[in-house]
Amino acid sequence: MNSLDLLRQHTTVVADTGDFEQLAQFRPQDATTNPSLVLKAVQQPRYHTLLEQAVAAHPGASATTVAEHLLVAFGVEILKVVPGRVSTEIDPRLSHDTATSVGTAKRLIDLYAAAGVSRERVLIKLASTWAGIQAARELEQQGIRTNLTLLFCLAQARACADAGVQLISPFVGRIYDWFKKTAGKSWDEAAMAGPNDPGVRSVVEIYRHYKRHGIRTEVMAASFRNSGQILALAGCDLMTISPALLAELQQANAPVERSLMPAPTTEPAPAAMTEAEFNGALAADAMARDKLTEGIAQFITDTETLEQLIRTHQA
């Protein structure tokens, strides 16, 4: 078996892409999207039809409304290929607006239902801000499953667990990026690889915390920069991996040993975090604070670029 097949023995493999035509060759269980990935996909000629159909089906609608229909259209196509779930992200401009996030998520679920897709096959992605986590709490209580993204530290993971979210996506690569940039010339790539990678260490900390306390929320490691990070986290509940790294693993035949092992619950769950504790933890963690702010800003930029592309087709 190749390294990708060996990885599947320990971890559920998820594809991180909006390019659903690539999915079949990797046989992922689930797929994730975000504004950046959908923007990248929709600019490819083979996906112009989806954009044109979304615009034509909603004459006079705002670009934001058309974008929601376009995101769902991509999700519907992805679900024709993967047997499991697709993650669809709400407008990142709502990252600090709980009530509107809830309303938008419910609207996306309704659009999926109109396309014949049950809510069990959809995860609504929200940024791991306090407002986003509270929106997830409300949605989970209403039977809508969530995926909390842009997650960089244990405090965010703890708050997500308190809210009863279905799944979290800690960002391995972006944590690695921050520490490497901060270290500058003193960064030693070899010494900081594998289990010493700061992004890997963060996911290990979160995974062990969840298992130790019997927390049911799934941990899906995300945002990888190299296959070494993936292999160092073999055994994580899920991993969402880019097509380029999926292909690299598929072509490799290196052994894959399980690094993260499920463990019995040994401690009761800690007391729920307060908003003040959450904000204090983020304020004290420069990396998490910087990457969360930066990630939301980048997703907003790509969302606005997508909407401008839609307006161009509406003209």
CATH number at residue 265: 3.20.20.70
pLDDT at 264: 87
Tell me if 173 is assigned to some domain: yes
Q: For residue 70, is pLDDT > 90?
A: yes
Tell me if 273 is assigned to some domain: yes
Tell me if 37 is assigned to some domain: yes
> Any catalytic annotation for residue 125?
yes
Q: What is the total count of domains within the chain? A: 1
pLDDT at 269: 84
Tell me if 315 is assigned to some domain: no
Tell me if 223 is assigned to some domain: yes
Binned at pLDDT 50, 70 and 90, residue 263 comes out as: confident
Residue 77 in tokens: 């196509």
When pLDDT is averaged across residues 290-306 and rounded to a whole number, the result is 97
pLDDT digits (tens, 9 = 90+) for 173-232: 999 999 999 999 999 999 999 999 999 999 999 999 999 999 999 999 999 999 999 999
Which residues fall within 8 angstroms of residue 293, CB to CB, at 6 or more apart? Answer: none
pLDDT at 102: 98
Residue 267 in tokens: 């401690």
Give the domain extent around 10.
3-310
Q: What percent of the chain has pLDDT over 90?
A: 95
Annotated catalytic residue: which of 40, 80, 106, 125? 125
Q: For residue 315, is pLDDT > 90?
A: no
pLDDT mean across residues, the chain: 96
Tell me if 21 is assigned to some domain: yes
pLDDT at 159: 98
Binned at pLDDT 50, 70 and 90, residue 290 comes out as: very high
170 beta partners: 151
Confidence (pTM): 0.96
